[in-house]
């Protein structure tokens, strides 16, 4: 059992209604009254972020979380299937636990967070940027780079994003998976 002096960013704790990860914290010692710790906590199952205040010295239940490298294989009615890159063990994971499932491609390396004591998957983190081929978009005009106008495009994962006017079908682009936005064109 730890106490509030052990709180740091990334620490996972067990509170009354689930597992929470500390996003940010601040130890406060006011001139008058007892000290306390102000935190922002992210729920690992829903992704909801809330503010919470702990009195100084309160006991907290720390949960051990492990992050492991897995490779995405395929998806079916049982979920999204990932393979451990060291043991070749396959794990099906529900779509709700993946932060950007629309950008998953066969062979993509991802990070999966596991509750170390219970061996339960808590979430899948897709890499921040992926390279994808544009499978369909309206034809672009050469030299149309002066404006910030965007048009819809479908990439090889099936996701639809907005790209600049000069991007054509068959071009390779880098996509920011956190925002679901075009980043840059990639030479292949």
Strand-strand pairing, 49-55 and 129-137: unpaired
The confidence score (pLDDT) of residue 117 equals 84
DSSP letters of 65-130? EEEEEEEEEEEETTEEEEEETTT--EEEE-GGGBS-GGG--TT-EEEEEEETTTTEEEEEE--SEE
pLDDT value at residue 87: 92
C-alpha span between 107 and 72 (Å, rounded): 5
Structure confidence at residue 118 (pLDDT): 85
The segments of the chain whose pLDDT lies below 70 read 141-146
- Picking from 94, 60, 101, the residue whose alpha carbon sits closest to that of residue 77 is 94
Judge whether 109 and 96 are in contact, CB under 8 Å.
no
Whether residues 108 and 141 fall in one domain: no
pLDDT digits (tens, 9 = 90+) for 125-158: 899 999 999 999 988 766 666 677 889 999 999 9
Domain boundary among 21, 37, 63: 63
* Per-residue model confidence (pLDDT) at position 142: 67
From first CA to last CA, the distance across the chain in angstroms is: 53
Residue with tokens 């991007």: 167
Q: Are residues 69 and 58 in the same domain?
A: no
Residue 31 and residue 57 in one domain: yes
Between the CA of residue 137 and those of 111, 145, 162, what are the distances in Å?
31, 16, 10
Residue range(s) defining the domain that contains residue 151? 130-186
56 and 71 share one domain: no
End-of-domain residue from the set 12, 34, 63: 63
What is the number of domains present in the chain?
3
**pLDDT recorded at residue 18:** 86
Whole-number pLDDT of residue 184? 93
CA 114 – CA 108 distance, rounded (Å): 19
Asked if 83 and 59 sit in the same domain, the reply is no
Same domain, 51 and 85: no
In whole angstroms, give the CA distance from residue 63 to residue 22.
Answer: 12
Q: For the domain that residue 175 is a member of, what is the CATH number?
A: 2.40.50.140
Sign of the alpha-carbon torsion through 171, 172, 174, 178: positive
> What pLDDT, on a 0 to 100 scale, did the predictor assign at position 120?
86
Radius of gyration of the chain (CA): 21
Q: 83 and 35, same structural domain? A: no
Return the structure tokens found at 2. 């730890």
């Amino acid at each position: 059992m730890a106490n509030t002096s052990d709180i740091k960013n990334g620490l996972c704790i067990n509170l009354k209604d689930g597992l929470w990860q500390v996003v940010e914290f601040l130890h406060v010692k006011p001139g008058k009254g007892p000290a306390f710790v102000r935190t922002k906590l992210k729920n690992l199952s829903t992704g909801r972020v809330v503010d919470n205040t702990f009195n100084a010295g309160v006991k907290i239940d720390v949960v051990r979380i492990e992050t492991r490298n897995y490779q995405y294989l395929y998806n079916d009615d049982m979920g999204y299937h990932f393979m451990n890159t060291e043991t070749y063990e396959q794990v099906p994971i529900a779509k709700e636990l993946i932060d950007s499932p629309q950008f998953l491609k066969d062979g993509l390396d991802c990070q999966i967070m596991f509750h170390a004591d219970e061996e339960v998957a808590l979430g899948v983190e897709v890499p921040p940027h992926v390279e994808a081929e544009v499978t369909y978009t309206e034809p672009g005009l050469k030299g149309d780079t002066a404006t910030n106008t965007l048009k819809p495009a479908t990439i090889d994962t099936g996701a639809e994003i907005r790209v600049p006017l000069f991007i054509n079908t068959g071009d390779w682009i880098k996509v920011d998976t956190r925002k679901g936005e075009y980043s840059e064109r990639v030479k292949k």
